[in-house]
Amino acid sequence: MATEIPRMMRYVQVTAPGGPEVLHIGATQVPAVRDDDVLIRVQAAGVNRPDVQQRKGLYPPPPGASPILGLEAAGEVVARGSAVTAISLGERVTALCNGGAYAEYVTAPASQCLPWPAGYDEVQAAALPENYFTVWANLFDIARLKPDESLLVHGGTSGIGITAIQLATAQGSKVFATAGSAGKCGFIERLGAVAINYKEMDFAAEIARLTEKKGVNVVLDMVGAPYTIRNVASLSTGGRLVQIGLMEGNKVDGFSLAPVMTKRLTITGSTMRPRSTAEKGAIAASLLAHAWPLLEGGGIAPVIHQVFALEEAAAAHALMESSAHVGKIMLRVR
């Protein structure tokens, strides 16, 4: 029996650029389904740093994307476009969305949808897309991290950080990760990585000590400018610096290209949202083949810090900005 789709839905509205207090529940039309899309009745959605930046007016959605916040959701497919054949009505999917996940309904290209891993509920499933697409594309497609190589991850207890540690250690890579408290460092150690408290020590000096001055093969960084010189110093010959965020700035004072040349380094960066549907679909296919078996086997799993109701999106954003969390912050949609 087909699910009845209402004309209107509740969503989290940004009344004006600003702090978490600008988020309120509003009403808008259920989005129309394009030929290659599915319409998902949202059960849970993830909260991510780009959502915070968009709320502040600093990260506008690309052309054609939903202006509603939210880049990942899990729920039931209730409608599909004319070109969609691989996903059935009633199927439970988790999706990397082009915006719009903070709502009762969201559309997503069918190629950006993945099945819930066996045994997962809606919150666990919704915690996967943004982190797994980002980490897979950057660590394995771009940096080509190998099992016998080493990795330094900044923000080790963020959703991205935890995903990177889990996927890298699962393939046998040696992982180092930074965090800002003893408690967070202990959590990183339990994941199987070597923790570095960046508030108590210079991470570059510690990497030099731990690697006998050899450095690491790959650095995954979301901090930006203040870390760049030390990231380069932490890399081994032939190393790769992968930039996935600029939380603390994008202009580097006093940066010399000399070590980039002498150590034959590669510096690269990417953002996920502007990528084409075809590119995101290719990442989804890789995840289904390589990461989903690990998730279903219990070898890796998302870490959920706290779940808020859709109506509590402002509190969820306040927690995100506090950086007090370990793992994912989620919204449950009823």
What is the per-residue pLDDT across 20-48, written as a single tens digit (0 to 9) for each? 999 999 999 999 999 999 999 999 999 99
Strands (E), the chain: 8-14, 23-29, 37-47, 72-80, 92-96, 105-109, 113-115, 150-153, 174-179, 194-197, 216-221, 235-243, 266-269, 304-309, 328-332
Q: Which fold has domain 8-128+273-332?
A: Quinone Oxidoreductase; Chain A, domain 1 (3.90.180)
Cα distance between residue 204 and residue 238, in whole Å: 17
Tokens 């991470």, located at residue: 203
pLDDT in tens, 279-319: 999 999 999 999 999 999 999 999 999 999 999 999 999 99
Domain with CATH 3.90.180.10 in the chain: 8-128+273-332
- CB count in 10 Å sphere of residue 121: 12
Torsion of CA 52, 68, 91, 118, to 10 degrees: 0
Q: Is the pTM of this model over 0.85?
A: yes
Distance of CA 12 to the CA centre of its chain: 20
Instruction: Enumerate the CATH 3.40.50.720 domain ranges in the chain, comma separated.
Output: 132-269
Confidence of residue 3 (pLDDT cuts 50, 70, 90): confident
CATH 3.40.50.720 fits 132-269, yes or no: yes
